[in-house]
Structure 1
Amino acid sequence: MIAVIQRVSESSVKVKGEIIGQIDHGLLVLLGIEDADTTEDIDWLSKKIVNLRIFPDENMVMNKSLLDAGGDILLISQFTLHASTKKGNRPSYIKAAKPDFAIPMYEKFITALESDLGKQVQTGEFGADMKVSLVNDGPVTIVIDSKNKV
């Protein structure tokens, strides 16, 4: 699993012109799922995201986690995170999981995040044409690949 994590002061996602997910202070998480992903990847990445110390403390040092800061999560599925650009100019998405595998994994990831965060996670719509808006706070953007956890 690959996650692009952005600390935001606000973020929302629209499908067909209607806002279906929205947060204020927290994290926008773009999630790419591949066939090699497991429930171990879900558990590890979920805990990593909610405990990542990227929010400022009283001295403006990035020392607080999302849990400490009381923020929310907007989770968006994004298969293009697994794009291979090694050959030619047209990205290949062969590593990205197909919907029959990716959707259940995405749903399990939502459940894991909600359990680790202790509240509901806002989401986009899997496979939909989404319009994502955000105000990146910092800016702070971090990329985590669960295959590089060692």
Structure 2
Amino acid sequence: MKAVIQRVSEASVTIDGNKVADIQKGLLVLVGVEDTSNQEDINWLSSKIVNLRVFGDENGVMNLSVKDIDGDVIVVSQFTLHASTKKGNRPSYIKASKPDIAIPVYEKFVAQMESDMGKKIQTGEFGADMKVALINDGPVTIIIDTKNKE
């Protein structure tokens, strides 16, 4: 699994003109699933994101997590995170899981995030054409690949 985590002062997801997710201070998480993604990856990635210290403390030092600040989270599925650009100019998405594998993993990841956060996680809609709006705070953007967890 790969994730792009962005610290935001606000973010939203709109599908067909309808806003389906809307947060203020928190994290926007774009997540991509591979066929090798498993429950261990889900647990590790969720815990890593929830406890990632990217919010400023009273001294302005990035020392607090989204959970510490009682922030909100939007999780959006994004298969393009697994794009290969080695050959040519058209990305290949062969490493990205097909929906029959990716949807259950994505749903388990969202459920694990909710468990780790102790609150509801907002989401986009798997496979939908989404318009994601955000104000990246900092900017702070972190990329995590579960293949690099060791």
What TM-score results when the alignment is normalised by the length of structure 1?
0.99
AA of the residue aligned to 1:72: D
What residue number does 1:104 align with?
104
Report the equivalent of 1:64. 64
Task: Report the 3-state secondary structure (helix = DSSP H, G, I; strand = E; otherwise coil) of the residue aligned with 1:138.
Answer: strand
Q: CA deviation at 1:69?
A: 1.1
Partners of 2:60 and 2:111 in 1: CA distance = 32
Can you give the 5+ residue segments of structure 1 that lack an aligned partner in the other structure?
A: none
Distance in 1 (CA, whole Å) between partners of 2:120 and 2:147 is 26
Once the two structures are TM-superposed, the CA of residue 100 in structure 1 deviates from its matched residue by 0.2
Counterpart for residue 40 of structure 1: 40
Q: 1:70-89 counterparts in 2 under 5 A?
A: 70-89=70-89
Cα displacement string for residues 1-46 of structure 1 (whole angstroms, at most 9, x for unaligned residues): 0000000000000000110011111000000000010000000000
Q: Deviations over 1:99-143 (max 9, x none)?
A: 000000010001000000000000000000000000000100000
Aligned-pair identity in percent equals: 69
- The residue identity in structure 2 corresponding to 1:117 is M
| In structure 1, distance between residues paired with 2:140 and 2:61 | 13
- Superposed CA deviations along residues 65-89 of structure 1, whole A, max 9, x for unmatched, are 1111110100000000000000000
Q: Read off the aligned partner of 1:107 and give its amino acid letter.
A: E
Q: After superposition, where does 1:1-150 map in structure 2 within 5 Å?
A: 1-150=1-150
In the alignment, structure 2 segments of 5+ residues that lack a partner are: none
- State the one-letter code of the partner of 1:93: Y
- Superposed CA RMSD in Å reads 0.4
Deviation at 1:95, TM superposition (A): 0.1
Q: 1: distance between equivalents of 2:21 and 2:102?
A: 20
Equivalent pairs, count: 150
